[in-house]
């Protein structure tokens, strides 16, 4: 089983450190995966409207609440999608999420990306370049102010962000005086984001790591196949995935590996103890091989279709963050 480590958020909420991600799960798979996970000890489930499978998560929750677990024993996260950044739409999308999940409240609600699409469709292609998304001129601070009103409704316990840079986070605080409770980011040995993690932890912003095993949809070498990871796994009598999940949790971050296969769901929840030497050996993988697997759609304005946040490395990321309107 998991070490059952619990992270205490700045709100005092207790967050189970290892959770189940639900991104990229095909129709018909998530319902079963969530039920399996909860029946085998998971108490942290990560969702989002854009995953388009929250209704299946809701069906699974009905099967396990209250027969297997009480609602208050679960920590459920979801996210506001880009097309509803307008302040008047923020609570409406939360209501839609609650309806899909069949819940009265969720524990954490995040702004999914630091970029706004025009209201309406989930994706709005640029009229001249279909692969590029039209960006709307809604300041992040205005969306964040609307998010901050949600806990008072009782529909959500806390609010935070996802995929936000230091510049974005500082901009929110400058505008409101309030830090997000959490920042969910892609994090694994090839994309450790050391500076961002340290900066957030110093300010009480919890980091949740998604794609902790990397991502195999890009055709790149899988992290579980790296010799350094396999060698440590063999020595510890563990799987490479268990080693990577344990690496992600080593410095206090929460980790949300995704799987729809029963044996992997159960296995991913079985942490192993890494030594400092093991941790540093795995960390060294990304020293000269920085790679972000979850490259977002290119976002732009109609006046400048080359303006984007298509991030591939740290230098590109630093440059791109200056092009998003925060306030």
Q: How far apart are CA 165 and CA 172, in angstroms?
A: 11
Q: Is 51 in the active site?
A: yes
Vertex 178, ends 137 and 141: CA angle to 5°? 5
Question: Is the separation of the CB atoms in 61 and 98 below 8 Å?
Answer: no
- Helix 87-101 and helix 54-64, axial crossing angle in degrees, nearest 10: 50
Give the pairing of strands 106-111 and 75-80.
parallel
Catalytic residue from among 42, 51, 210, 226:
51
Question: Mind giving me the DSSP string for 253-273?
Answer: -EE--B--SHHHHHHHTS---
Considering only CA atoms, give the Rg of the chain.
Answer: 19
Q: How far apart are CA 148 and CA 160, in angstroms?
A: 9
Report the relative pairing of strands 14-16 and 6-8 from DSSP bridges.
antiparallel
Count each helix (H run) and each strand (E run) in the chain, helices first.
Answer: 11, 12
Q: Which residues contact 320 (CB under 8 A, 6 or more apart)?
A: 308, 309, 310, 311
Q: List Cα–Cα distances, 141 to 148, 179, 326, in angstroms.
A: 10, 12, 6
For 274-288, give one letter per residue: b (16+ CB within 10 A) or e.
beeebbebbbebbee
Is 55 part of any known ligand binding site?
A: no
Catalytic residues: 51
Q: Which residues are annotated as a binding site for substrate?
A: 112
Q: Which residues are annotated as a binding site?
A: 112
């Amino acid at each position: 089983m998991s070490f059952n480590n619990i992270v205490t958020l700045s709100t005092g909420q207790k967050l189970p450190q290892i959770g189940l991600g639900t991104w990229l799960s095909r129709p018909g798979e998530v319902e079963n995966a969530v039920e399996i996970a909860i029946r085998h000890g998971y108490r942290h489930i990560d969702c989002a409207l854009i995953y388009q499978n929250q209704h299946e998560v809701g069906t699974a929750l009905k099967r396990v609440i209250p027969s297997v677990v009480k609602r208050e024993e679960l920590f459920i996260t979801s996210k506001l999608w880009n097309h509803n950044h307008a302040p008047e739409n923020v609570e409406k999308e939360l209501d839609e999420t609650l309806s899909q999940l069949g819940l009265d409240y969720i524990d954490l609600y995040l702004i999914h990306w630091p970029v706004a699409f025009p209201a309406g469709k989930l994706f709005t292609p640029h009229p001249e370049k279909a692969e590029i998304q039209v960006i709307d001129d809604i300041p992040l601070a205005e969306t964040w102010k609307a998010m901050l009103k949600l806990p008072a409704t009782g529909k959500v316990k806390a609010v935070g962000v996802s995929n936000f840079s230091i510049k974005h986070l500082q901009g929110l605080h400058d505008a409101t005086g309030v830090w997000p409770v959490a920042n969910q980011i892609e994090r694994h040995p090839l994309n450790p984001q050391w500076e961002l993690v340290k900066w957030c932890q110093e300010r009480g912003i919890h980091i949740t790591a998604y794609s902790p095993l990397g991502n195999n949809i890009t055709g790149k070498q899988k992290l579980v196949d790296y010799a350094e990871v396999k060698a440590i796994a063999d020595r510890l009598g563990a799987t490479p995935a268990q080693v990577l999940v344990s690496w992600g949790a080593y410095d206090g971050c929460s980790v949300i590996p995704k799987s729809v296969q029963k044996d992997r769901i159960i296995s991913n929840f079985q942490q192993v103890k890494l030594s400092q030497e093991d941790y540093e050996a795995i960390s060294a993988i990304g020293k000269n091989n920085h790679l972000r697997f979850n490259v977002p759609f290119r976002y732009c304005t109609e006046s400048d279709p080359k303006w984007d946040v298509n991030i591939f490395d740290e230098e590109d990321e630093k440059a791109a963050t200056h092009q998003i309107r925060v306030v």
